[in-house]
Structure 1
Amino acid sequence: MLKKYLYVIKTQIIRSMAYEFNVYGNIIMQTIIMITSAYFWRALYKGQTMVGDVDVDSMLTYVIMSSILSVLFITNVERRIQNSVEKGTVAADLIKPINVFGVYFAEDIGNIIALVFQNMLPIFIIGSLMIKLPAMANLKDIPLFVISVIESFLINWLVAALFGMIAFTAVNIDALIQVKKHLLRLLSGSIIPIWFFPVGVQKVLEGLPFVYIYQLPLSIYIGKGSSVEYLSQMRIQFIWLVVLSVVFFLVQNKVIRKVMVQGG
């Protein structure tokens, strides 16, 4: 069974490598966002050493790494679900001897592997040359950062998959996907860290899974906190991962039963 998913990953890598225009477009767009954000934070910090217990160098590192993670967190599962529903092939997909959502996950993994070389490295180089070298604050926290990023990716994918299942009840979710994409980046601290938000808003956002997609791994990277604090937040991150996984499997089973009864 694993070989089937590995084949899907391999196929998706080859397919992703073929779309050069999309690669260049993504690099240009992320570079514009990254440089614009860097100028914004430099202007905000003008004449000030620290804002929100973070210095300007750390904030610029945050901006670069946020742009890099945004590439890592690209998902196509919503559109794959929508296309399957629109074409009426969802029932046929579900009866195949391989889990269709597993295929979507494998495709996203393959796409990300290709993007590491196509987008992430160029963005890292551009950010290093035009803004600053985004060096990690404490190298001893690398294991925590890596684990946190993996869990962040899984949470982000589960949120996207659950959102994509709206396609089973809605005619078209293209507009909703765009709203969800930008809203998630705002609520996750990708654009503006939530420590700049009012205390009441911070507490609300800390109770949601979104800050554990971007802000937690980025906070670990720039050293905003201690190892004890990171581990405490990563426990919450893991709890959200478990909760979303359970919800995903329950919704998936419900959707499969519904489609098989109605015939797609």
Structure 2
Amino acid sequence: MKSYLSVFKLRLINGMQYRIAAIAGIATQFFFGFIFIMVFEAFFNSNTSSQPISYNQTVTYIWLEQSFLVFIMLWYRDIELFDLITSGNIAYELVRPIKIYGLWFSKLLAGRLSGALLRSFPILFIAFILPEPYKMSLPPDILTFILFCVSLILGLLVVVSITMFIYISVFVTLSPTGSMLLFGVLGEFLAGIIIPIPFMPEWIKRIVYILPFHVTCDMPFRIYSGHIPQNEAIVGILTQILWLGVLVILGRFCMKKVLKKVIVQGG
């Protein structure tokens, strides 16, 4: 465990150095945040019927999504890990006295956390002081905020456990392109990143709620806005813990299997 914590700290400190990239990311996320909000503003203004989620809750959802994008985006990748597999340098990882699954999990977790720390606070600060109708709202009460924080952290862990399967698959395919496209496009749609899940048709919702993707994004953001009641939020957090355990156990099993048949590329 100390080895994993050391790797986590080193990668976190290293990731915090990329401030210029973070500034560029903040500008990009503000641009897309305003675009999405204006689209939904036009949708709500043109449709007077009741919606499954209010406009203010939708605006808050979008700003949270943009603030913690590094937490939830499935196409976020560590090129270094892909290069280790495809170049043959994975041999150096295999001789380390540490499990590769835990080592890579720590690296990916630290990389996402460092990126979010640099970007989230400036975006949230500005989102709170924006004028209506673009202003982000506060959570209904302190308990809701605590449940949101717990759910957000668990969602991050679930995201990392899902993305570990991308790196595991590269041992077999020797190319990350297919896995990145599959997880990036399909996974982010099912997570509610492209369209909030309450706006989806009922038959799609039934599929979404069977899979683990929605607990990474949709659940914590709707908990924050109060759209998911506190009693349901607690059940949702237990569901996140369950999914995390299942995905980690399955990921470790798959990693163990592929390492038995690993082919060192690049000579």
Which range, TM-score by smaller chain?
Answer: 0.7 to 0.9
The answer for unaligned runs of 5 or more in structure 2 is: none
- The aligned counterpart of 1:14 is 13
- The aligned counterpart of 1:5 is 4
Return the TM-score normalized by structure 1.
Answer: 0.87
Q: Structure 1 residues 77-86 or 218-227, which shifts more?
A: 77-86
> Equivalent residue of 2:135, what SS?
coil
Cα displacement (A) at 1:182: 3.5
Cα displacement (A) at 1:149: 1.4
Corresponding residue to 2:216 among 213, 217, 223:
213
Q: Residues 85 and 167 of structure 1 are in contact (CA less than 8 Å); yes or no, is this contact kept in structure 2?
A: yes
> Aligned partner of 2:229: which letter?
S
Q: Residues 189 and 211 of structure 1 are in contact (CA less than 8 Å); yes or no, is this contact kept in structure 2?
A: yes
Return the TM-score normalized by structure 2.
Answer: 0.87
> Aligned partner of 1:40: which letter?
V
Percent of aligned positions that are identical:
22
Q: Residues 9 and 109 of structure 1 are in contact (CA less than 8 Å); yes or no, is this contact kept in structure 2?
A: yes
Q: Residues 101 and 252 of structure 2 are in contact (CA less than 8 Å); yes or no, is this contact kept in structure 1?
A: no
- The aligned counterpart of 1:72 is 71
Q: Residues 105 and 161 of structure 2 are in contact (CA less than 8 Å); yes or no, is this contact kept in structure 1?
A: no
> Aligned partner of 2:135: which letter?
K
- The aligned counterpart of 1:59 is 58
> Aligned partner of 2:202: which letter?
V
Q: Structure 1 residues 46-55 or 225-234, which shifts more?
A: 46-55
> Aligned partner of 2:12: which letter?
I
Q: Does 1:119 align with 2:119?
A: yes
Corresponding residue to 2:173 among 170, 173, 178:
170
- The aligned counterpart of 2:142 is 139
**Are residues 117 and 158 of structure 1, via their aligned partners in 2, closer, same or farther at CA, if it must alter by over 3 Å?**
closer
Q: Does 1:102 align with 2:98?
A: no
1:202-254 Cα deviation digits (max 9, x unpaired): 11111111111111111111111322222333333332222212211110111
Corresponding residue to 1:222 among 199, 203, 225:
225
Please list every run of at least 4 consecutive aligned residues from structure 1 whose deviation after the TM superposition is greater than 4 angstroms. Answer: 47-51, 74-78
- The aligned counterpart of 1:248 is 251
The answer for unaligned runs of 5 or more in structure 1 is: none
- The aligned counterpart of 2:45 is 46
Q: Structure 1 residues 161-170 or 72-81, which shifts more?
A: 72-81
Structural mapping, 1:150-189, within 5 Å = 150-174=153-177, 176-189=179-192
Q: Residues 105 and 164 of structure 2 are in contact (CA less than 8 Å); yes or no, is this contact kept in structure 1?
A: no
1:128-175 Cα deviation digits (max 9, x unpaired): 344213311332223322221122111111110012211112232135
Q: Residues 155 and 213 of structure 1 are in contact (CA less than 8 Å); yes or no, is this contact kept in structure 2?
A: yes
* Aligned counterparts of 1:34 and 1:216: Cα–Cα separation in 2: 19
> Aligned partner of 1:141: which letter?
T
Q: Residues 212 and 237 of structure 1 are in contact (CA less than 8 Å); yes or no, is this contact kept in structure 2?
A: yes
Q: Does 1:30 align with 2:29?
A: yes
Aligned length: 261
> Aligned partner of 2:252: which letter?
F
* Aligned counterparts of 1:141 and 1:158: Cα–Cα separation in 2: 25
